[in-house]
Amino acid sequence: MKKTFFAIILPIILIESICSQTIVKELLTENLIDPVGLDISIPRFTWILQNEKRGITQTAYEIEVESNDTFAWRSGRVLSDSSVLVAYKGLPLKSNTLYFWRVRVQDNRGYISDWSLPGSFRTGFLQPSDWKAQWITPTLEEDTVNRPSPYLRKTFQTKKEIRSAVLYATSHGMYEAYLNGRRVGDAHYTPGWTSYHKRLQYQAYDVTGLLQQNNTIAVMLASGWYRGTLGWSNKNNHYGRHIALLIQLEIEYTDGTRERVISDPSWRSSTGKIIYSEIYNGEKIDLRLEKEGWMFPEYDDSQWAYVKKTNFDTAKLVATYNEPVRQQEIFKPAAIFNTPKGEQIIDFGQNLAGWIRMKVKGKSGDMITLSHAEVLDKEGNFHTANLRAAKAQCTYILKDTNKVILHPHFTWHGFRYVKIEGYPGEIKPENFEAVALYSDMEPTGSFTSSHPLINRLQSNIKWGQKGNFLDIPTDCPQRDERLGWTGDIQVFVPTAVFNMRVHNFLTKWLRDLEADQLITGEVPNYIPDLGSNVNRAAWGDAATIVPWTLYKTYGDKRILHQQYGSMKAYVKSITNVTHDGLWDKGVTFGDWLAYSPEEGERKTPGTNKNIITQAYYANSLRIMMNTAKVLNIPDDEIYYTNLLEQAKKAFHTAFINEKGDLISPSQTAYSIALEFGMIPYHLEKQAAARLVELIDDFGHFTTGFLATSPLPHILLKYGYGDLAYKLLEREEYPSWLYPITMGATTFWERWNAIKPDGSFQTQKPQSNSFNHYAHGAVGDFLYRKVAGLDIAPDKDAVGYKHNLIKPFPGGSLKHARAILKTYYGTVGSSWKLDGKQMEMTVEVPVNTRATVYLPSTTPENITEGGKPVNTSTEINILGQEEDKYTVIQIGSGKYQFKIQRL
Ligand code: RAM
């Protein structure tokens, strides 16, 4: 790429720029590093600017995109401070083509950066007609009970020197592809789960390094989500009865000529070692049945069966937008022991989703069974009743006396403990590993504090996310469910966006939400849908809450554009059945799994379900109003503003009595009503006081999935910070920390999954997941309030362009720290109490600013870097607020404040 730009101003800045050059790095295309297989015609570019100096912003950028030594786009100098999601504006992109791009910027001091190192992206198939391959399915007579995994293979030759080779693949069912015995890519459970009848993802892999002169493509298939057992009623074949494969290998030789290898009837099929594979139940592998050498060209497949052509509309094929599921953390055994019942158990110390990798040496016919469980029971025995119908078992039959390393391929388990049966010889720790598998999203956030149990809470929240963000956001990873429950993700999404970059993961899921929405706009309870009920209040609202949260977190307007039709349709499906603005026929799961007293314990007051439905309806109207504003659709904005007013009035009339109280005196009712602004302004303080009374009355929260996470936010807002911290630090049941005192390493579905006496809850023993992330929604409070790392409220602040740093120290905490990697770079907020002094460390990325709340109204009592804050030219004092704070505005850089508090 040539340097042609900014020639005139360059000399002026040269001298100073050497010592304080802004560096451009970490180029992302559609939020990914060098993606392969994008089918977006206008991809967006993001880059990070680095400069140790303070107050640096971008004033202009220049982008160049090229392919095959030809420019596809030269933006020229664009006066703009945008460095996030900048849309490509060049020539129409070509299919299956590698593009490189680079960027340089001018900063607010007039300096111009060097060109960045190039980023790249490879387009996938931009038109359905680019697909030349044929869908194929094995013709083997099928064992319909066990459904062993079919193998498919094809041998071919390449003729010349190869410049590049890209393999495009997808399937009905799951696939793993190999080229000459080597695994293609490192993704698991491909092609992922989407609304298969409407959208099927394909993957693209750069396989240039895997090809030789004689080649074999070998593919293993499995039932997966497509036709495996799914849902809790033991049903299978949700999308079809036959699994099938589509493969297209695009080869480009160095002389510019091209060749293509495709799936077609010339392929052959058989079966091999995987004699059974189901997501819930696990896998059976009989090594004696493996077709040795089948992945290599020399193998003789003349005895293999033919394949036949099947059909599937290529217009429904879409490139993969989310990060693949990959193998992540590896755990070694924490303990190996025998239970009172004599079961041989390994404890891996962490509840996770994944599988076991086992080394074993035995003799032909030895059968080893690994069963998985999340917990031991009170007596210390292996407990699987909560897995319901999921067998969660892997069985291996050995072939000979060679040492082998074994793991399953198309299943995963939610587990911490493994029961081992039939292992030849002693169970030694070095022969077993637990491998966590989840979508490979960038870890973006961390939270730490002086409170060890709260730190464990943060870890448990993260592990809940890791265990359940496996291609779709599932409710749980262990039992016969693992579905994309809408209510769970809508409460958890504000926390999820801190822990990991969930941008593409949830964007992909929202496409499926829209695809599965009924024609009337109603939203199924879980996505992808298998025929569930629709429009449960607070569940269907994922349709509005998730895109809005992604917009705010990532500054992504396109997600609002893309989802607008879906969001509107959902809200309309409710408006259509309201009366004078009241959604009184709504159905909801309510404040799901709220604290529910055991026999003999004090009952909690009930909540009128319409309080929940109406508050959620109003919240979705507010999101619509704000979205219409962002998208500049004034008619819609007025329409939703009016509907919102009407909905609020209807709420007041129906649910607030003459004393100004809610008709349901429950924590749930007050929490949700206050959270969604349903209480008239003049009654808000009274409502907050009622909520406090209700909490004090019980001494703890009595809420569930919906109303618990808003509680500490509300308490802080209305001046009850002490109570917020009391709830946060509480260790007795029910509380956030209670499960930790009982040894939990992930969040439980129910507050009382394990009771204080060590026994399991008996209200619904079969629904007792130990890895449900919904209650982990308190994580957002840790980041935003305890550490004080937030987005400022103004409309241009989205994506952390304008940060808000406002910590709320409290309880027994002596320090807290949060950092978050945004698209601009790392934002950091930490504080530390030292007697009457408080230290605050703030990190603001280049090209952003921050408003910081320093807890003293006397600027003279505040220093930064040892100097009085009111003498600094880099700090702009905005004023005093809430009789408590000096509010300042700062640009990028690292700042160290010391505040003398009275
Ligand atoms: C359960 C799921 C999920 C919840 C629904 C209502 O089966 O586990 O967490 O959203 O029910």
Phi, psi of 643 (to 5 degrees): -60, -40
> Atom 5 of ligand 1 has which residue's CA nearest to it?
485
CATH topology classification for 131-320: Jelly Rolls (2.60.120)
pLDDT of residue 17: 45
Using alpha carbons, select from 599, 582, 743 the residue that is nearest to residue 647.
582
When pLDDT is cut at 50, 70 and 90, the band that residue 1 belongs to is: very low
- Cα 548 to averaged position of ligand 1 atoms, centre (Å): 23
Q: CB-based burial of residue 18 (10 Å sphere; 0-12 exposed, 13-18 middle, 19+ buried)? A: exposed
Q: In the structure encoding, which two tokens stand for residue 816, read together?
A: 């807290």
The Cα–Cα gap between 744 and 736 comes to: 11
Using alpha carbons, select from 37, 93, 319, 322 the residue that is nearest to residue 205.
37
Task: Report DSSP state, residue 468.
Answer: H
Strand ranges in 554-593 using DSSP code E only, listed in sequence order: 587-588
- Lining ligand 1 with CB less than 6 A are 475-476, 481, 485, 487-488, 589, 592, 772
Q: Could you tell me if 354 and 437 are in contact, meaning their C-beta atoms sit under 8 angstroms apart?
A: yes
Which ligand 1 atom is at minimum distance from the Cα of 749?
9
Q: CB-based burial of residue 73 (10 Å sphere; 0-12 exposed, 13-18 middle, 19+ buried)? A: middle
Total-model pTM:
0.97
CATH topology classification for 787-900: Maltose phosphorylase, domain 3 (2.60.420)
Residue 601 has pLDDT above 90, yes or no: no
Using alpha carbons, select from 484, 344, 366 the residue that is nearest to residue 418.
344
The CA-based diameter of the chain, rounded to the nearest angstrom, is 87
User: Strand, helix or coil at 19?
Assistant: helix
Mutate to test the pocket of ligand 1, among 468, 475, 541 (most ligand atoms within 8 A of CB): 475
Q: Could you tell me if 826 and 845 are in contact, meaning their C-beta atoms sit under 8 angstroms apart?
A: yes
The residue-averaged pLDDT of 184-205 equals 98
- Cα 572 to averaged position of ligand 1 atoms, centre (Å): 25
When pLDDT is cut at 50, 70 and 90, the band that residue 902 belongs to is: low
Q: In the structure encoding, which two tokens stand for residue 243, read together?
A: 């699994």
Q: Could you tell me if 139 and 244 are in contact, meaning their C-beta atoms sit under 8 angstroms apart?
A: no
Which residues, in sequence order, are CB contacts of 657 under 8 Å at separation 6+? 663
Amino acid identity, position 864 = E
Catalytic positions: 481, 749
Q: Could you tell me if 139 and 305 are in contact, meaning their C-beta atoms sit under 8 angstroms apart?
A: yes
- Cα 332 to averaged position of ligand 1 atoms, centre (Å): 32
* Mean pLDDT, the chain, whole residue set: 96
CATH topology classification for 326-439: Jelly Rolls (2.60.120)
User: Strand, helix or coil at 271?
Assistant: strand
CATH topology classification for 473-776: Glycosyltransferase (1.50.10)
> Atom 11 of ligand 1 has which residue's CA nearest to it?
485
Domain extents in the chain: 3-123, 131-320, 326-439, 473-776, 787-900
- Cα 485 to averaged position of ligand 1 atoms, centre (Å): 6
Using alpha carbons, select from 113, 101, 112 the residue that is nearest to residue 44.
101
When pLDDT is cut at 50, 70 and 90, the band that residue 5 belongs to is: very low
Residue 309 has pLDDT above 70, yes or no: yes
pLDDT of residue 13: 44
> Atom 6 of ligand 1 has which residue's CA nearest to it?
589
The Cα–Cα gap between 623 and 829 comes to: 28
Q: How far is CA 335 from the centre of its chain?
A: 31
Residue 16 has pLDDT above 80, yes or no: no
**Which residue is listed with tokens 């009457």?**
836
Amino acid identity, position 228 = G
Residue 3 has pLDDT above 60, yes or no: no
- Cα 745 to averaged position of ligand 1 atoms, centre (Å): 20
Q: Could you tell me if 823 and 785 are in contact, meaning their C-beta atoms sit under 8 angstroms apart?
A: no
- Cα 29 to averaged position of ligand 1 atoms, centre (Å): 35
For residues 549-580, one letter each, b for 16 or more C-beta atoms within 10 angstroms of the residue's C-beta and e for the rest, the string is bbbbbbbbebbbebbbebbbbbbebbbeebee
- Cα 484 to averaged position of ligand 1 atoms, centre (Å): 9
Amino acid identity, position 655 = F
- Cα 469 to averaged position of ligand 1 atoms, centre (Å): 16
> Atom 9 of ligand 1 has which residue's CA nearest to it?
475
- Cα 537 to averaged position of ligand 1 atoms, centre (Å): 13
- Cα 55 to averaged position of ligand 1 atoms, centre (Å): 47
Across the strands, what pairs with 826?
821
> What is the enclosing helix (H) or strand (E) of 641?
helix 634-655
Which residues, in sequence order, are CB contacts of 708 under 8 Å at separation 6+? 671, 701, 775, 777, 778
Amino acid identity, position 601 = E
Which ligand 1 atom is at minimum distance from the Cα of 485?
10
pLDDT of residue 141: 84
For residues 235-264, one letter each, b for 16 or more C-beta atoms within 10 angstroms of the residue's C-beta and e for the rest, the string is eeebbeeebbbbbbbbbbbeeeeebebbbe
Across the strands, what pairs with 286?
397
pLDDT in tens, 800-848: 999 999 999 999 999 999 999 999 999 999 999 999 999 999 999 999 9
Query: Is the sign of the CA dihedral 358, 362, 367, 371 positive or negative?
Result: negative
Amino acid identity, position 769 = S
Q: Could you tell me if 57 and 107 are in contact, meaning their C-beta atoms sit under 8 angstroms apart?
A: yes
Domains 131-320 and 326-439 share a fold: yes
pLDDT of residue 12: 42
Task: Report DSSP state, residue 625.
Answer: H
Q: How far is CA 152 from the centre of its chain?
A: 33
Determine how β-strand 536-537 pairs with β-strand 587-588.
parallel
Mutate to test the pocket of ligand 1, among 476, 483, 485 (most ligand atoms within 8 A of CB): 485
Mutate to test the pocket of ligand 1, among 230, 491, 529, 592 (most ligand atoms within 8 A of CB): 592
pLDDT in tens, 113-133: 999 999 999 999 999 999 999
Q: Could you tell me if 374 and 415 are in contact, meaning their C-beta atoms sit under 8 angstroms apart?
A: yes
For residues 656-691, one letter each, b for 16 or more C-beta atoms within 10 angstroms of the residue's C-beta and e for the rest, the string is beeeebbebbbbbbbbbbbbbbbbeeebbeebbebb
Tell me the helices (H) and strands (E) count for the chain, helix number first.
15, 49
pLDDT in tens, 162-178: 999 999 999 999 999 99
> Atom 8 of ligand 1 has which residue's CA nearest to it?
475
The residue-averaged pLDDT of 866-875 equals 95
Radius of gyration of the chain (CA): 29
Amino acid identity, position 427 = I
The residue-averaged pLDDT of 230-256 equals 95
Using alpha carbons, select from 679, 520, 678, 488 the residue that is nearest to residue 589.
488
- Cα 597 to averaged position of ligand 1 atoms, centre (Å): 20
**Which residue is listed with tokens 């009407």?**
646
**DSSP per-residue string spanning 782-839:** IIIIIS-EEE-SSGGGGGGTEEEE-----TT--EEEEEEEETTEEEEEEEEEETTEEE
Task: Report DSSP state, residue 398.
Answer: -
Task: Report DSSP state, residue 860.
Answer: G
- How many Cα atoms sit within 13 Å of 812 on the Cβ side? 10
Q: Could you tell me if 457 and 740 are in contact, meaning their C-beta atoms sit under 8 angstroms apart?
A: yes
Q: CA separation (Å) from 670 to 37, 200, 397, 541, 616?
A: 48, 43, 58, 19, 13
Q: Could you tell me if 219 and 251 are in contact, meaning their C-beta atoms sit under 8 angstroms apart?
A: no
Report the interhelical angle of 609-630 vs 557-575 (nearest 10°): 140
- Cα 591 to averaged position of ligand 1 atoms, centre (Å): 11
Q: In CATH, what is the architecture of 3-123?
A: Sandwich (2.60)
Residue 320 has pLDDT above 90, yes or no: yes
Q: Could you tell me if 414 and 477 are in contact, meaning their C-beta atoms sit under 8 angstroms apart?
A: yes
In the chain, the percentage of residues whose pLDDT exceeds 90 is 94
Q: In the structure encoding, which two tokens stand for residue 538, read together?
A: 């607070």
Determine how β-strand 849-854 pairs with β-strand 802-805.
parallel
Which ligand 1 atom is at minimum distance from the Cα of 536?
6
Which ligand 1 atom is at minimum distance from the Cα of 476?
8
Q: How far is CA 858 from the centre of its chain?
A: 42
Determine how β-strand 382-383 pairs with β-strand 469-470.
unpaired
- Cα 475 to averaged position of ligand 1 atoms, centre (Å): 6
The Cα–Cα gap between 556 and 546 comes to: 12
The residue-averaged pLDDT of 709-735 equals 98
Q: Could you tell me if 99 and 72 are in contact, meaning their C-beta atoms sit under 8 angstroms apart?
A: yes
Which ligand 1 atom is at minimum distance from the Cα of 488?
10
> Atom 1 of ligand 1 has which residue's CA nearest to it?
475
